[in-house]
Structure 1
Amino acid sequence: GNIRELENLIERIVVLKRDQGLIEMKDLPIHHFKKIRLDRYVANVSLPDEGVDFNEAVNDFENELIIQALQKTEGNKNKAATLLNLNRTTLVEKLKRKGLRIAS
């Protein structure tokens, strides 16, 4: 769903902007703004000269979104899943697979 679309979009932008440094809003396809509103996330994205491990970067981004959703909902997985537009079971599976926990 949305994560897969985001991964594909990030990968495409990283490849296209590889030697050009900072990724700006004008580099993003406009049809994605309303659907996943990337403008919230890409303002500070910059590809280092030495490159980046794409899968690790996407994984870190996903982890951060999950952690923030859990913090915002005080650990309520149902509400966090709703914020992330995920099924609760999908969120729980990701938490287990990634070993993520929220401090209580």
Structure 2
Amino acid sequence: MNSPNKELSQVLEDAISRLPEKYRIVFVLREIEELSVRDTSSALDIEENNVKVRLNRAKALLRENLNAYMKDHVYHFHLTRCDRITRNVLQKLGIEGGKP
């Protein structure tokens, strides 16, 4: 069974691999290889402003891609179960409706 870190790492790798090439390259050079904006600009023969724009767009696309995963896997829990547990805890504390 995969550990949560390995699973999340794989999800992130997959999301990066799905980025359009022009955004993926800038993301990898800036965020993974830690090149400066100037060095990235030089390596790709594009303007520094384009590096910044592409990086921001890559991050936005990654957020969109990862948001669904986060909702489905990380923040997924059963609200009815949570409500039942909360009611039981409040009852044990002698609190009804959140008021003593």
- TM-score over 0.5 for the pair: no
TM-score normalised per structure 1: 0.32
For the pair shown, the structure with the greater C-alpha radius of gyration is 2
TM-score normalised per structure 2: 0.33
